[in-house]
């Protein structure tokens, strides 16, 4: 991608997954990294990678929020002992300024989330982050505000009930905000689906 040209494009390089993973395993062998993982893989790719990996992936990073719960993928990772890190754990918030989501899609303003927040005496954002942590995933919320960072860290002295967790789970719409198959063509003049 060269942003200086009139019509920037992505030029994907076709490298077999096995070659890339072997290079990452070499980094572990050299002591340059301790753990290696992947991002945006589904179960099929994970199964394929795990079948040939000498060092198993330690972590999968995926978009994960109440509108995209990815229950089966998270369950699979837990069953094979792979950690899961949720990016965009608050849902649409990070995508408003990029015109990739509308404010009406905010999980923070979702009636059920606001109600649960009132019940537990926390903010809607804390409820969303706690939901992620309580289901066994790491969450990485984005903020540059000190007060939000403090709020985001205050997740470990309360629990959501089983009913509240189920209520949040039921908000799933399989709504993906970060989909290269949607935004790469507009941003980089390159059709680049990865989830289909």
55 secondary structure, DSSP code: S
First to last CA, the chain: 23
Confidence of residue 43 (pLDDT cuts 50, 70, 90): very high
Q: What angle do CA 132, 138, 142 make, to 5 degrees?
A: 85
Question: What is the per-residue pLDDT for 98?
Answer: 77
pTM for the predicted model, two decimal places: 0.90
Question: What is the per-residue pLDDT for 49?
Answer: 97
Residues 157-171 pLDDT 10s: 999 999 999 999 999
Question: What is the per-residue pLDDT for 97?
Answer: 78
Computed over every residue of the chain, the mean pLDDT equals 93
What's the farthest any 2 CA atoms get from each other in the chain? 53
Question: What is the per-residue pLDDT for 100?
Answer: 82
Query: d(Cα 190, Cα 78) in Å, to the nearest integer?
Result: 34
**Comparing 157 with 7, which gets the higher pLDDT?**
157
List the structure tokens of 92.
């649409």
Q: What is the mean pLDDT of residues 127-156?
A: 91
Q: Are 127 and 171 in contact (CB under 8 A)?
A: no
Helix (H) or strand (E) holding 37, with range, is strand 37-39
Other CB atoms within a 10 A radius of the CB of residue 78 amount to 14
Question: What is the per-residue pLDDT for 162?
Answer: 98
List the structure tokens of 56.
């198993």
Burial of 93 (0-12, 13-18, 19+ CB in 10 A): buried
């Amino acid at each position: 991608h060269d942003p200086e040209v009139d019509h920037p494009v992505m030029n994907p390089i076709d490298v077999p997954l096995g070659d890339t993973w072997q290079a990452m395993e070499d980094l572990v062998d050299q002591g340059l990294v301790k753990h290696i993982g992947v991002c945006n893989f589904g179960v099929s790719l994970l199964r394929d990678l795990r079948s040939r990996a000498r060092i198993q992936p330690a972590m999968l990073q995926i978009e994960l929020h109440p509108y995209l719960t990815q229950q089966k993928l998270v369950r699979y990772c837990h069953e094979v002992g792979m950690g899961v890190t949720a990016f965009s754990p608050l849902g649409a918030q990070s995508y408003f300024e990029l015109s990739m989501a509308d404010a009406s899609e905010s999980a923070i303003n979702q009636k059920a989330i606001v109600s649960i927040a009132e019940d537990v005496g926390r903010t809607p954002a804390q409820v969303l982050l706690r939901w992620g942590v309580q289901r066994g995933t790491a969450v990485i919320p984005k903020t540059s505000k000190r007060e939000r960072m403090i709020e985001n860290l205050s997740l470990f002295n309360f629990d959501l009930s089983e009913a509240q967790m189920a209520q949040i789970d039921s908000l799933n719409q399989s709504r993906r905000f970060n989909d290269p198959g949607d935004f790469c063509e507009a941003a980089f003049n390159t059709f680049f689906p990865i989830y289909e």
